[in-house]
């Protein structure tokens, strides 16, 4: 009996020593610093945004189709009925949720790059505005962060101005994704949607349009400042019809977030991209960024490169119901001059050299 008790005592002592050793080892491991925690939160904020942008619509559609063949079939049926009832809402100003625009995660998203908004001139709440956003880049990070989230202080810099951002109309046909887009203040890049914001919601509205669109994303790469703008005049016509002032903006650093395989004009791969763009509204790009594990690994997340969005001087535009081609050309030229002035005055401040030029195609 004494032998058994002695053996048990030895086992308990050994177990106690093992636990103490494990605790000492655990306590010896350095705790993550505040900087490490901030970096992790920033990475997660960007990850959720990229996944939402690339997968939310498709995954939601597949999930609803799957639910149709389960006992939960009533859920997708009711949601489909809701979409039919709510079909025109994106074209009528959407459904902004201020709480989502002020979501704390957007501050971590901003700090990951970081993104900064610079004001050069006041915007009066007594007018409406069309803000031209350049360049497109791969995912329009600067435009999204500045005009959709409140993390860079747009409402504080431009009091009385409500910002909206336009995107492909097809995105608002995807279930769940459409609600996500509208809640932030995004609307379709259509005449009807833009016209509604500029005519039916009073004054103080600023509609941001990424004018270069999908065609511009095909030439996006670090060190290249080429814009597709010379024949893009629809936004000027809309501004004239509604008397909305034109405001140029440029996001320095936008093209540095990803690396892209750029195919030369005339190649068969570029022709495939062009055809896909005409059919679907967006262009398939072969690009990569950093991975989850480190900045040196390859993945689908953008590199942490600073983005500075500078909002320029507004170009006053008269209200003309049926503007002539000559009038549209005149204000298009005035807009390009304002954009070039903005670029040249700020390029050396935000990472470019004095010799860098803005090429407009």
- Euclidean distance between CA atoms 161 and 205, whole angstroms: 6
Structure-model confidence comparison of residues 76 and 298, the more confident one: 76
- Given a cut of 90, whether residue 17 has pLDDT beyond it is no
pLDDT of residue 200: 85
pLDDT of residue 359: 87
Q: Which residues pair with 227 in a beta bridge?
A: 360
Q: Which pTM value belongs to this model?
A: 0.86
Confidence of residue 267 (pLDDT cuts 50, 70, 90): low
Nearest-10 crossing angle of helices 105-112, 34-51: 100
**Residue-wise pLDDT tens digits, 300-314:** 899 999 999 999 999
Least confident of 127-131, 270-274, 305-309, 313-317: 270-274
- Euclidean distance between CA atoms 283 and 228, whole angstroms: 14
Q: 319 in helix, strand or coil?
A: coil
**Residue-wise pLDDT tens digits, 168-202:** 898 999 999 999 999 989 999 999 999 999 998 88
Nearest Cα to Cα of residue 181 among 198, 196, 195, 193: 193
Domain boundaries, the chain: 35-360
């Amino acid at each position: 009996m004494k032998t058994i008790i002695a053996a048990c005592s030895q086992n308990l002592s050994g177990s106690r020593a093992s636990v103490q050793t494990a605790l000492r080892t655990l306590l010896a491991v350095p705790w993550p610093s505040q900087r490490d925690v901030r970096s992790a939160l920033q990475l997660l904020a960007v990850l959720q945004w990229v996944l939402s942008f690339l997968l939310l619509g498709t995954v939601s559609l597949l999930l609803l189709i799957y639910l149709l063949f389960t006992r939960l079939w009533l859920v997708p049926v009711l949601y489909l009925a809701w979409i039919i009832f709510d079909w025109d809402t994106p074209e009528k100003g959407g459904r902004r949720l201020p709480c989502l625009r002020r979501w704390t995660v957007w501050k971590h998203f901003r700090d990951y790059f970081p993104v900064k908004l610079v004001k050069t001139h006041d915007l009066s709440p007594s007018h409406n505005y069309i803000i031209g956003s350049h360049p497109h880049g791969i995912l329009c990070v600067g435009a999204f962060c500045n005009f959709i989230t409140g993390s860079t202080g747009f409402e504080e810099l431009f009091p009385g101005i409500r910002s909206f951002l336009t995107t492909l109309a097809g995105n608002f046909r995807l279930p769940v994704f459409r609600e996500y887009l509208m809640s932030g203040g995004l609307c379709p890049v259509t005449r009807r949607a833009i016209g509604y914001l500029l005519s039916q919601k009073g004054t103080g509205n600023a509609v941001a349009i990424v004018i270069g669109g999908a065609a511009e994303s095909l030439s996006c790469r670090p060190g290249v400042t080429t814009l597709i703008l010379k024949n893009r005049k629809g936004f000027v016509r809309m501004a004239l019809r509604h008397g909305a002032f034109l405001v140029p903006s440029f996001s320095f650093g936008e093209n540095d977030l990803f690396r892209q395989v750029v195919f030369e004009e005339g190649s068969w791969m570029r022709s495939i991209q062009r055809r896909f763009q005409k059919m679907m509204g967006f262009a398939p790009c072969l690009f990569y960024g950093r991975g989850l594990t480190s900045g040196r690994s390859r993945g689908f997340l953008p590199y942490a490169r600073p983005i500075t969005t500078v909002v320029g001087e507004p170009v006053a535009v008269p209200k003309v119901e049926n503007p002539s081609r000559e009038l549209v050309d005149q204000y298009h030229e005035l807009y390009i001059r304002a954009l070039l002035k903005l670029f040249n005055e700020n390029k050396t401040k935000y990472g470019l050299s004095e010799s860098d030029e803005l090429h407009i195609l």
